[in-house]
Structure 1
């Protein structure tokens, strides 16, 4: 646990209205205290650290200069918003971040009026801020739309789609490009700060406007030429020609940690008649905390940690993480097959493909935050005879659904989808839960969908996908570590669409898909203790279903229950459809489906999330007993009619 830092100035700031009462000379101290409080809070709870530390001064400056919440501030991705939450009335709850009943780790509309738009996926901020700006323009309200977007989020096409449409907003739209990788900016210092302040000043913009009016009276052709010359000259001095071509007035680059530079520029932008404006700010992830500055990747998202040493709490040693099991098997398959390659959308370590990339750098592609491109790129590789694996989190694959349908499924191309973070994800909550992938993929013709019950099954399924060339195939697996089963020395190619019986019984059948298998087996033990002989099947495949196995189980047991960690419309719905189509429901079959509830579940400890979802052994047993109209006076498993 971290101790509370001394923050005498920050203690006086409850909301940005209090912040604006401070003198500019006080802002440096306030930013330092805000950084200390952010470090202390994340040390207590865990969460995203480096990104938030990088925008402490920027957060302070924005709320100081602009009239939030009337000026609508949209953060992109949202994980950099912890300092923002501290300054906007939520400091008293900041040590509940990412916990059940606590603050979200991202911006959330229901949490505060200072969070006008929820953001946990990337590259949405400019579109949303443009919407706010245009809405205010149409309704005559004075507020602006302000988007803070990281350079990584600029790798997604949606950001450019929004900028291409931004001219109608005029000076009501301000985009702040947070360049924290030096990926765009040249070195910044006094000269660039001077230029940024100069070209954003009312004097410069006034002269620019006067020059436009004069040349317009002389000749339209001269007007265009003069405009291009001025734009080119500023581009040569400051950069930003791309943004100018998209219709933005570019200001920057500027040191995002120097409040003496930031405040005047943002004030100029606030008061400018020119627009829309893009302010290019250069920051450093983890700024002000040495361990985070030294290892930005390791301190992007952290466990609880000691504030003094930076040492993160370590989980006890256990089974390997699912993403590493997937990557290690993929490496083995790629050793034998040079056609295998791997694609990730800015998540190499999260998907395990950093391991693959170290062995096969020429066959590993990180395309940035561009899931649509990743899928169609994989489709092109597959069409040319390669065997691409597209490793994307379930929640992020949603962003590329049109490409999955049109570029992969309709053309029946053998793209292999490794769907990480399938199911509930604990502290990251609803925005990152992989609830819908079976539902949105199993409706598509030509798709094969597998779900690993444990890490050994993931080995077999990865190997099976590597060898499958008849169309698209997906394997889903959860976040975190495996169950501890022994990994197979030699992977087995699974027969497509065939499940397995894990234990045999006579009265109750539990049909499991994915990692709820362990809970299904616990439920079977409890049912057996009541005299209810129970079969447990691991279906392995959500599509195609093992119809022979399912038909046998449904017709030979008194009650059958499907269990899956996915939304309605998944495996259970397909089993019900099959049973209906084949007339199996006409004989009075008791068939029940268990799945994630029809809600967006907030962040919480995984066990509590599963309890809320009703997917633990106790709830499986309860579902069976209710279907049988069972009570404790029933003898030897004879259920009431």
Structure 2
């Protein structure tokens, strides 16, 4: 079937089982080919082909609302809703998003990128439906891993309490669970949900209650027997006790079983949860055989072998460099432990986990718990390294403020993927952490100019005993600089002059230092000598150096790959204002008040005007402004 001809999922209702299987094959072949060029979340999507087809057959999108938790398993949904022709642009600049996107299609009713949000959103949509007196289905699709998120559990509690009409799809792709559940659960699931069974059960209870004197007791006894069997045999008792009707588990690749269960679920009043077992990566052996999550999300790969198209750089990856340095120090200090919220592979902590299994904690998708658990360990004399992506640290804001910073506990936060991350787009750009951490008392925030300084900052962080300390590091690889063999501490709050210059100063840190150097070279060719400062400590700042800069009269340009509002440049302006210096000769470059979409980092930086050309223009304008002001004063 030519998938490019699909404009609406309505055609699915006319297909027979053989045609559905053929369509599944075509979709898998299509996804494997397209993602081999663009990269993407190939594993999750190969696992939900039949499930997504079955959902679009059973429901009428967009009237019925399908909400994909996290959203990285929505590629099949995008194909079935008319976007196959755009897949060559998947996750590319100005192309198709890798997540549901409301402006892309009316079928994308909820935008996701972070886990565990679908149930709360679904409850909101169901409540709005009921208030408006409408009648349609609300169907969130959530993975088993996402249920470790506290927000999902909060939503389950509320949905069950309100007895809201909703059909929750629990997509369980952890294959070890299937044998533990067994055929008994499949049989009981079908029996308990089929309308004839429910009718017979209700009729039996009514009959027992009609028997004089003993009827009520018999009915109560029958109910206790039924409940006892349920506790004994049905793994879904947790959901039942929350107020859900539990169906399953069922084979998520079996169209007949999916269709039967979905139709039964539509007849049940109140919230229903359908436990669907799927195989992540189904249909492509390298992804099927993945046991550690390598094929969850990938870059481009070779279809025939499954080999990834690797970067040509020989520089170390940032995540691995930081994790390996923590591991190195942990060999000498048994107080060092590592904590991650479900990202051991992404944060490259597999080596630490293997070497120190009793000092490694993967808490699942539970960022808030991870942060407060780290605080509890620090309060007990342990040195926790909390490895967490910048975008996911947002979810633990209160724990950072209330539990870690307020108590001034020695937690080392490794903020991975700090700055622009590219293809994952708006939900994953790590550009907010400076703004939401900088105003927290007690915290130290730093970012290295290269991987050698990065390893020394790890040691600095683990030696620091005066409160929380955060190390930002970007996605991707370092610069390939020589690495010192011996580690040393960097004095907290000290900056570094990388290049002298009498005419202007560029103050920056991390990934934008090469940009500053390029700009300084261009300016030098024009006769403008620019000082470059590595502001490696974002908080506390080097006040001694700032006083020198302000008193020198040099124009100052700050550059950051982060939000301008509340960011590093704002801190420099605040310093100038607080100490009576003029702010007229200070300019800031960074990310404006927008959400940054997906695309290559270089193209995004160009769109955001964070380039060496823009830096040159800004410095020249500052110098011209200064000259004009001086000329005015002389006149």
Q: How does 1:350-369 map to 2 (within 5 A)?
A: 350-369=346-365
Shift of 1:333: 1.2
CA distance in 2, matches of 1:575, 1:208: 72
1:293 paired residue among 288, 310, 322 = 288
Is residue 398 of structure 1 aligned with residue 375 of structure 2? Answer: no
CA distance in 2, matches of 1:232, 1:151: 26
Is residue 68 of structure 1 aligned with residue 64 of structure 2? Answer: no
- What secondary structure does 1:515 align onto? helix
Q: Over residues 297-336 of structure 1, what are the superposed CA-to-partner deviations in whole Å (9 max), with x where a residue is unaligned?
A: 2221122223333232222142000011101111121111
Aligned equivalent of 1:4 = none
Aligned equivalent of 2:303 = 307
CA distance in 2, matches of 1:158, 1:629: 53
Is residue 574 of structure 1 aligned with residue 567 of structure 2? Answer: no
Shift of 1:200: 1.7
Q: How does 1:152-551 map to 2 (within 5 A)?
A: 152-167=145-160, 170=163, 172-182=165-175, 184-186=177-179, 192-210=185-203, 226-227=222-223, 229-270=225-266, 272-296=267-291, 297-551=293-547
Aligned equivalent of 2:614 = 619
- What secondary structure does 1:592 align onto? strand
- What secondary structure does 2:95 align onto? coil
Q: 1:389 to 1:219 in 2, by over 3 A?
A: farther
2:16 paired residue among 23, 30, 45 = 23
Paired residues, number? 627
Shift of 1:195: 3.4
2:79 paired residue among 58, 76, 86 = 86
Q: 1:29 to 1:445 in 2, by over 3 A?
A: same
Q: 1:37 to 1:639 in 2, by over 3 A?
A: farther
Gaps of 5+ in 1: 1-6
CA contact (8 A) 2:8 2:81 kept: yes
Shift of 1:595: 1.4
1:608 paired residue among 596, 603, 606 = 603
Q: Over residues 368-390 of structure 1, what are the superposed CA-to-partner deviations in whole Å (9 max), with x where a residue is unaligned?
A: 11000000000000000001010
Is residue 554 of structure 1 aligned with residue 550 of structure 2? Answer: yes
Shift of 1:409: 0.8
Shift of 1:212: 5.9
Q: 1:496 to 1:221 in 2, by over 3 A?
A: farther
CA contact (8 A) 2:181 2:235 kept: no
Indicate the larger mover: 459-468 or 62-71.
62-71
- What secondary structure does 1:418 align onto? strand
Shift of 1:612: 1.5
CA contact (8 A) 1:630 1:640 kept: no
CA contact (8 A) 1:85 1:94 kept: no
Q: Over residues 550-607 of structure 1, what are the superposed CA-to-partner deviations in whole Å (9 max), with x where a residue is unaligned?
A: 111122143001111111211111111111010011xx75011111121111111111
CA contact (8 A) 1:448 1:473 kept: yes
TM-score (norm 1): 0.93
Shift of 1:21: 2.2
TM-score (norm 2): 0.94
CA distance in 2, matches of 1:63, 1:209: 32
CA contact (8 A) 2:6 2:79 kept: no
CA distance in 2, matches of 1:161, 1:209: 31
Shift of 1:53: 0.5
CA distance in 1, matches of 2:85, 2:449: 41
Q: 1:202 to 1:513 in 2, by over 3 A?
A: same
CA contact (8 A) 1:413 1:472 kept: yes
Shift of 1:160: 1.0
CA distance in 2, matches of 1:60, 1:437: 39
Q: Over residues 483-515 of structure 1, what are the superposed CA-to-partner deviations in whole Å (9 max), with x where a residue is unaligned?
A: 111122112201111111111111101111222
Q: 1:225 to 1:387 in 2, by over 3 A?
A: farther
Aligned equivalent of 2:31 = 38
CA contact (8 A) 1:509 1:557 kept: no
Q: 1:404 to 1:224 in 2, by over 3 A?
A: farther
Q: 1:57 to 1:506 in 2, by over 3 A?
A: same
CA distance in 2, matches of 1:579, 1:225: 78
Q: Over residues 410-463 of structure 1, what are the superposed CA-to-partner deviations in whole Å (9 max), with x where a residue is unaligned?
A: 111111100000000011111111111111111011111111121111111111
CA distance in 2, matches of 1:120, 1:94: 19
Q: 1:226 to 1:433 in 2, by over 3 A?
A: farther
Q: Over residues 320-362 of structure 1, what are the superposed CA-to-partner deviations in whole Å (9 max), with x where a residue is unaligned?
A: 0001110111112111111111100110121121122122111
CA distance in 2, matches of 1:596, 1:96: 24
Shift of 1:87: 0.5
CA distance in 2, matches of 1:113, 1:27: 24
Indicate the larger mover: 184-193 or 464-473.
184-193
Indicate the larger mover: 132-141 or 474-483.
132-141
CA contact (8 A) 2:161 2:243 kept: no
CA contact (8 A) 1:188 1:254 kept: no
CA contact (8 A) 2:5 2:82 kept: no
Shift of 1:64: 0.6
